[in-house]
Amino acid sequence: MTRRERSLLIALAGALSALLPALALSGFTVDDALITARYAHHLARGLGYRFNAAGPVTDGVTPLGWAFVLAPFAAGGPLAALAAAKALGALAWTLAAGVLALAVDRASARPARFAALALVPASAPLAAWSVAGMETGVVAALGALAVALPALGGALAGAACAGAAAALRPELLPFALIVALSAQAAPRRDAAGNAPPRPAWARALAALALAGLPFVAVAAARLSIFGRAAPLSALAKAPDAALGARYALACFLLTGPVALIAPAAWRALPAWPRGLLAAVAVHFLAVAAAGGDWMPLSRLVVPALPAVVLAAAHVASVADARATALRLALALAGELFVMVRVGPTAARVGSDRLRVVEELRGALAGAEVVAALDIGWLGAATGATLVDLAGVTDPAIAALPGGHTTKRIPGALLDARRVDALVLLLAEGEAPASPWTASRFARGVEQRVARLPGAGDAFAPVAVSGVPHLRYVVLRRRAGDADAGEAPPDTGAQRDR
């Protein structure tokens, strides 16, 4: 077998290790993916960068520019944009995983290095988020290329990939800078054994520029367009230090970094692998400082997981074989626990969301302004103006006190925004009560809206979705003082007549 053939086989093995679990979890998505999809649909229609067709331009997508990538595929609606995003994420991560496998091969000559690749197919977060329809799959691919390309002679190309990842996900900036800088630290020689023509400080400066300037450019664009350098989501979702610490710890235990706990081996590592370890550690600290995330399957740490795989290969190359086997077994145990426990449920999320869209589309027909917390699927179910009770796409609501699920919505807001329909999610296992305002809803915002003075008189329930765990109640504004009934049907989503 030639060297080229061997490399192709290794790359193919890496790609398949990413693709197969992604296909198994291809049904996974989250509501926020459809928010970006609606922006992309309006771009495709020539309506501009806006969530509501007749609304203002708002900064409702954290990865600025991602909606423009999806716009060419979005003419058919938000669901078409979502399908394109899922395909792009899966393709990008699959190809990058092949390159990552080549970098693992270059880690050393010890066979133990390949054991680190087992972390890829066992990772439900990597698989699910590559096909979720958000930018995460592409960012994970950029994270993989950022750490893999230096091993293949492309240190500056890796720095550029790190910079692109940080431009899409702001919390990745410390990770990107450390990866880009540490990749330049090791002495470099060309095929003839000659030192590179540029001095080390010039290479380091170029790497830092490639890794940091895209982030700065995006922040400057936001400041110019929206009046703030940080994404709107940072205002809508205020960081919670305690929640962030718990989130980062859980991710550390369940996503593979346990394989890197080898202090004795660290001392034997060259500068570049030590840089990988530092980048992973700093990213987990950045995620904790950001307050963690409400989405499932460790979304915020996914872009750093390819670095975990490559770092684990380097650690395995210098550590005792038995200690390596134990660490990898512990890391795989955490990953497989998540895959078995959460994977089957995650694979059904997309079909469940689509079912809700179809069930409640009729109940929303004719509504002009709909207020809700989960606005992603609503954007696929209706073309009405949506009032985002989380504030993710609405600067005025984002600035209200409370977290994105606990905003203190003022009593006058529904009338001021001319809301003629509400969509509220019932708490787990709850059925609609009579009167509907006595129902127990899932999040603080919804509970607050239900308790607003006059809400029971102004709105009447007309439908409730029949999907377990996604029991949304649709309420329509009453016509005058006419009694539209108090209790929605317990199953299905047929509108009362």
What is the pLDDT, as a whole number, of residue 196? 60
- Structure token pair of residue 191: 């095929």
Calpha distance 478→460 (Å, rounded): 6
Kindly report, residue by residue over 295-350, the tens digit of the pLDDT: 999 999 999 999 999 999 999 999 999 999 999 999 999 999 999 999 999 999 99
Kindly report, residue by residue over 121-142, the tens digit of the pLDDT: 999 999 999 999 999 999 999 9
What is the pLDDT, as a whole number, of residue 487? 42
Amino acid at residue number 343:
G
What is the pLDDT, as a whole number, of residue 485? 40
Amino acid at residue number 433:
A
Burial class (CB in 10 A: 0-12, 13-18, 19+), 274: middle
- Structure token pair of residue 258: 């346990």
Give the pLDDT band of residue 237 (cuts 50, 70, 90).
Answer: confident
What is the pLDDT, as a whole number, of residue 186? 54
Kindly report, residue by residue over 399-423, the tens digit of the pLDDT: 999 888 999 999 899 999 999 999 9
Q: Residue 490 pLDDT more than 60?
A: no
> What's the mean pLDDT in 466-489?
73
> What's the mean pLDDT in 169-188?
88
Calpha distance 375→419 (Å, rounded): 14
- Closest by CA to 144, choosing from 297, 15, 286, is 15
Q: Residue 387 pLDDT more than 70?
A: yes
> Would you give the DSSP letter of residue 121?
T
What is the pLDDT, as a whole number, of residue 203? 86
Give the pLDDT band of residue 489 (cuts 50, 70, 90).
Answer: very low
What is the pLDDT, as a whole number, of residue 479? 84
> What's the mean pLDDT in 357-370?
96
**b vs e for 50-87, b when ≥16 Cβ sit within 10 Å of the residue's Cβ?**
bbbeebeebbbbbbbebbebbbebbeebbbbbbbbbbe
What is the pLDDT, as a whole number, of residue 239? 80
CB atoms within 10 A of CB 150: 29
Listed in sequence order, the residues at least 6 apart from 492 whose beta carbon sits closer than 8 Å to its beta carbon are: 359, 463, 466
What is the pLDDT, as a whole number, of residue 197? 66
Burial class (CB in 10 A: 0-12, 13-18, 19+), 4: exposed
- Closest by CA to 421, choosing from 449, 394, 453, is 449
Q: Residue 191 pLDDT more than 80?
A: no
Place of tokens 């610490």: 245
What is the pLDDT, as a whole number, of residue 482? 41
Calpha distance 124→21 (Å, rounded): 8
> What's the mean pLDDT in 258-285?
94
**Bridge partners of 459?**
477
> What's the mean pLDDT in 241-253?
94
In whole angstroms, how large is the CA radius of gyration of the chain? Answer: 24
Q: What percent of the chain clears pLDDT 70, i.e. is strictly above it? A: 94
Q: Residue 493 pLDDT more than 50?
A: no
Q: Residue 1 pLDDT more than 90?
A: no
Q: Residue 481 pLDDT more than 80?
A: no
- Structure token pair of residue 289: 């400082």
Q: Are 115 and 29 in contact (CB under 8 A)?
A: no
On average, the pLDDT of the chain sits at: 92
The pTM for the full model equals 0.92
- Closest by CA to 116, choosing from 367, 389, 363, 305, is 305
Calpha distance 122→255 (Å, rounded): 9
Domain ranges within the chain, ordered by starting residue: 3-187+198-347, 349-477
> What's the mean pLDDT in 200-207?
86
> What's the mean pLDDT in 224-242?
91
